[in-house]
Amino acid sequence: MSRRSAIGTKPKDQKGTLLRLISYLGESKILLFFVVLASIASTLAGLYGAYSISPLITIIQGGLTGTVTRNVMFSQLIAKLSLLAVIFLIEVLTTLFSERMMVKISQRTVRKLREDMYNNMLKMKVGYHDRNTYGDLMSRFTNDIDLVGEGLNTAAASIIINIFTLVGTIFVMFYLSPTLFLITVVLLPLLSIMARWIVRRSRTYARRQQKSLGKLNGFIEEAMEGQMVMQLFNHEEDAIEEFNELNKEYRKNAQKAQITSIMMFPLMQNMNTISYAIIGIAGGYLAINFGLSIGDLGAYVNMTRTQGRPINQISNQFTTLQSSLASSERIFELIDWPLESVNEEDMILDKVTGDVKFNNVTFSYVKDQIILNDISFYAKPGQKIAIVGSTGAGKTTITNLISRFYEIDKGEILVDDIDIREINRFNLRSHIAMVLQDTNLFTGTIMDNIRYGNLDATDDQCIEAAKLANAHYFIRHLKHGYNTVISGVGDDLSEGQKQLLNIARAAVANPSILILDEATSSIDTRTERLVEEGMGSIMEGRTTFVIAHRLSTVRNADAIIVLEHGEIIERGSHDDLLEMDGRYASLYHGQSELS
């Protein structure tokens, strides 16, 4: 629960987030320029359409009062209406053009955001995954990115056009009647205050909605991964109850966000109607007593409606934009997560013999919660070092530190007498291969999955690696052999077969240092022997670190390190440790009795 409760922490700098989102539009400067031009053209055409009532009424008034003949009146009306039709066509075409271009711009921007997110995710510090669920991570790649795209597609284009329309309307209204314009200026702050209050509420609920959705997605992802465990311990009802609570929380926040959004239109519409009525009454008074023309009054009243529409549209789209900003904050948080540091001065090693030393190493994932406390040991080139101990003793942490997934707090780790902090971390890992308990495969052919250990490996080298790992026999009997396509979950392969592929992948990498972390813990004893034969082949001539709960698998190690509570309490060969009759002997005899 502690991990799920941390989901949703986001930057609070709304202005900075908006400016940063705008900076992503930089790749489409030319398109944006044409969008602005089209928006201006659309605005001018729309303004003329609203203003055109004035000359039309004047023409009709002239015909009715006898100032011009009926024939002249009709010819002038036809000319004005024809011009108006052309202008309306221009408005429609320029609006369609600007909207289409904004779709193109938004999709370019979303593509760039998605690329940056993915690139950063692959290179970010491992600690991010320790603190956040994969459900929340996927929510940023799917829901959040979609909301940003929607905001740029619709909200941004609408806001740009409506801002131009509002500014243009204000100028035309002032030109028609400065007196009525002053009355409008008094009424506008009321609309602005109302819109600002709703936007502020909408922003709050949009954030809560995204946060609760991240929690819900994270919980669902955990439930899907742990379904068998959940069923085994009969926790279905508890999980359903917790899911219902998270679902209710999301429903409540989504409901509030959407209700706030829905409130915007009727509230603003009513305010506009009141404003329209006040302007109509004041305009009639001016027309009767101060000579305001009927045409200008009609145009101004029409402008009052036009003036209210962009405010309404901006207010409505601002809610969508706020949701997009809330999602942008979460996306930028992921993009800003610290990457694994690489300095230009870092050493590049062409060859590693595999000499590894830990000198007084202290490490903690969280400050003041020490995992490894002042440990020291060594592994000479070609040695097989086994690390055993209780769960949580720090065994896997040691292998993670060798690969430099985390930085140590104190001490030093040496590879070939060079502090690994001085070695380029990616170059360091190119000399290390790992076979883990979890069999991570990727969608592709069997050959592709083996070659993942060394992308430059030839087919023959991959086949040799498979033979070395004892995987060649079962691969040969697959319908399409090495060209058999599998998914990331391994399709119909057994756990043992998937693990043999992992070993083959490590073998083709031809590492100097090999790490085997509980590589046989999830397979049966018969398959374990086959896997151990494969691992034995690739361990030849390589410095190997083996983590295993089954102590029978580490009997032939050159040295066995016993860890407890982050400290080395025993070290020696299998026989030496049994003679000591300490912690290792107790663990070994206990497992022997159980077997």
pLDDT digits (tens, 9 = 90+) for 285-320: 787 777 777 777 777 777 776 666 776 677 667 777
- Show which of 288, 310, 335 is a domain's final residue: 335
d(CA 385, CA 346) in angstroms, rounded, equals: 28
Instruction: Give CA separation, 220 vs 1, 216, 356, 430, in Å.
Output: 13, 6, 42, 36
| Token pair listed for 539 | 């361990």
- Show which of 286, 314, 335 is a domain's final residue: 335
d(CA 36, CA 563) in angstroms, rounded, equals: 67
The helix/strand/coil state of 392 is: coil
The helix/strand/coil state of 415 is: strand
- Is the full-model pTM beyond 0.75? no
pLDDT at 2 over 90: no
pLDDT digits (tens, 9 = 90+) for 394-453: 888 998 899 898 899 999 999 999 999 999 988 998 999 888 877 778 888 999 999 988
Within-domain flag for 234? yes
CATH code of the domain in which 18 resides: 1.20.1560.10
Host domain of residue 462:
442-510
One domain for residues 150 and 270: yes
CB 469 within 8 A of CB 507: yes
Q: How many domains does the chain have?
A: 2
Within-domain flag for 531? no
Q: 512, 511, 478, 508: which is closest to 493 by C-alpha?
A: 478
Which residues, 6 or more positions from 4, have their beta carbon under 8 angstroms from its beta carbon?
133, 215, 218, 219
pLDDT digits (tens, 9 = 90+) for 485-518: 887 665 678 888 888 888 889 888 889 999 988 7
pLDDT at 1 over 50: no
- Show which of 335, 364, 393 is a domain's final residue: 335
pLDDT digits (tens, 9 = 90+) for 565-588: 889 999 998 888 889 988 888 887
One domain for residues 113 and 257: yes
